[in-house]
Homo-oligomer: A and B are copies of this chain.
């Protein structure tokens, strides 16, 4: 049985009306309170923000993507430089994913604009050449080179990167596949999980903890089967992955299917979901951590997260902000809102200044950490439902 002595997960308060819980997740790089949001440092850097900006915005935990890091600069260089924490100057908790999402979800041709970043150099989707029991072979969009990612190599790469929380390689099935394909895929994903555990245990030095992934597409029985499987394995935590349906109600159903049979003593991560409504819903379904590129990505397109904006965001390029002396979000208190006006941010965007993206990024990070703090405060006081109603009334 794998042991995680430097890690812990403690449920401090369980909500009476839902599966939501307030928790404390401990890692060798410090603890974090949950529910928490994990910010995406895809290529070993939060886009347009360094560790100082993250800390000032109260970010607790970040993630990097194995797929991107294995291609540039490569796991060996990161290991030589002392691991990803030291390489990127981040001393807090960190997660890496397995690379599966990028290879399968993108390689299969399904849509994920968030990760594809169309047009950015080296940011195109990989081409999946072969999927076999051994692993997946794909062509790098950077230089056309062939790479094979196996359960073993994914874990070895993640061990070299050195994040606190690492994730098994899974086949991430696209939305359009049928039940038979999904069932066959899930069986292989489970065999891959066994190989990941074996590889993890070979290199395990107590500095990392392993997450198992729940797949099973949109099918309730397969999601149950997957949740039971991962619960039976010596994982530290679980991640709900895969295609999560084509509208939010279906996503919530799938999360619920996945959560049902899960071992509740372990932390649960929801992969790639970070809409404001989805976070409130996910928390109620029992999710402890979330990640998504949206908060930092929309910042680079000129959007500020805002409680009272449409879809909880404001387009700061809009001429209505030209002479607006208010901060991005009144009452926010983040370093950006305590210093700058909407008029200044608007000016920076109109003038094409990089600083505009930097300031919006920092605000959006602070907005997300503030949202999670609001949720945790409500859980502590036993008033999650009221807090949710207040949030959406605002």
Contact = CB atoms under 8 A, between A and B. Distances in A.
A373 interface: no
Copies in the complex: 2
Interface stretch (A17-25, A45-53, A95-103, A304-312): A45-53
Interface in A254-305: 300
A348 interface: yes
Contact of A81 (B43, B325, B357): B325
Interface in A340-357: 340-341, 343-344, 346-348, 350-357
Given A43-B351, A352-B122, A354-B354, A81 B48 contact: no
A227 to B, nearest CB: 36
Interface in A78-94: 80-82, 87-89
A148 interface: no
Interface residues of A, number: 47
A318 interface: no
A120 interface: yes
B351 A44 contact: yes
B350 A81 contact: no
Contacts of A121: 352
Nearest to A350: B72
Contacts of A340: 88-89
14 contacts: A44-B347, A44-B351, A45-B351, A46-B355, A50-B355, A73-B350, A73-B351, A80-B325, A81-B323, A81-B341, A87-B347, A89-B339, A121-B352, A354-B357
Ranked nearest first, the 9 interchain pairs of A and B with the lowest CB-CB distance are A43-B351, A89-B339, A45-B355, A73-B347, A45-B353, A48-B354, A121-B352, A72-B351, A87-B344
